[in-house]
Amino acid sequence: MLKDFSELVKRAEGGEKTRLALVGAQDGEALGAVVNAARKGTVEPILVGSSDAVKKTAEVEGIDIDGYEIVEPGDDGDAHTACQLVVDGRAQALMKGRVSTGDILRAVLDKRYNLRGKGLISHVILLENPRYHKLFIMTDVAMVVKPDLKQKIEITKNAVEVMHKLGVEKPKVGMICAVEKVNYEHMPDTVDAAIISQMSIRGQMGNCIIDGPLAFDNAISKTAAEIKGIDSPVAGDIDIAVLPDIEAANALYKGLMFLSDSKSAGIIVGSKVPIILLSRADTEECKYYSILLSGLVS
């Protein structure tokens, strides 16, 4: 169990450097984040993009990129060039710079590179909150808009795999809904949550413990669960919160970030290499944590 990001930093900074390809390296925000991580000894960056454009950005932003490799994109563009670096064993993770998310995902899913994973590509956020006793994952806040049952199963499995790689042997998963009881007439997400919970009991979801439907208060607070008379193996101790759709997940995530002093790291998972997507609203700290997380799960 990782209690906070300081423990994640210790683990990452004590390990091997991650070979990280920055796709569209002429983006000043992303370039600065990667160089910052490189200075701390956690990554070996490969800057994919027009050499002239990357150098100009570095000059304008005051970023020292001396000694870092710049790879000129091929005819297919930055994203395809970066994927080829992965195939060649030169990169272990990808990071979005000045290139669209769609371009990166299309390249990753291109059959020429064989980087597609076994299931769905989804997004995970690793969160630290001062009122919770450990880091936990929230998913999916950025990729799958309105997941059906099959997609929720894949989203959950992706998050469980990340927790396994972070050293949590049997993560506890809460399938988050507005209520704790199945309402098959008006709240279909509660039905999905109950099905996935039962699948876990039958050993169909891998090495994890899943319960749902659970309201978010029950998932993070044992006291709240006890008040409501909920006897759950995961209540108050979740490692993963699976939200019903992107609207609920994104709203909750941003509320935690801006109203409760949370810290976060976010990556796309489900492909054979993690992909880092940064928001311009992310703090330098969050950007660094995302880069470290990609290295730990790559």
State the pLDDT at residue 282. 80
Q: Taking the CA atoms of the chain, what radius of gyration do you get in angstroms?
A: 20
pTM equals: 0.93
State the pLDDT at residue 21. 96
Q: Which domains does the chain have, with CATH numbers?
A: 5-117+271-297 (3.40.50.10950), 122-263 (3.40.718.10)
Close Cβ partners of 279 (under 8 Å, ≥ 6 residues apart)? none
Average pLDDT of adjacent 10-residue blocks, the chain of 298 residues: 92 89 93 92 94 95 94 94 95 93 90 91 96 97 96 98 97 97 95 98 97 96 93 96 97 92 94 86 86 92
The answer to whether 214 and 232 have CB atoms below 8 angstroms apart is: yes
State the pLDDT at residue 51. 95
Q: Would the CA dihedral through 44, 50, 54, 59 be positive or negative?
A: positive
What is the identity of the amino acid at 29?
E
State the pLDDT at residue 278. 78
Strand order in 43-48's β-sheet? 69-71, 43-48, 18-23, 93-96, 275-276, 263-269, 122-128, 136-139, 240-242, 172-176, 209-214
Q: How many residues does the chain have?
A: 298
Cα(130)–Cα(145) distance, rounded to whole angstroms? 29
State the pLDDT at residue 9. 93
Cα(275)–Cα(81) distance, rounded to whole angstroms? 15
Name the β-bridge partners of 95: 22, 276
Cα(252)–Cα(136) distance, rounded to whole angstroms? 14
State the pLDDT at residue 121. 94
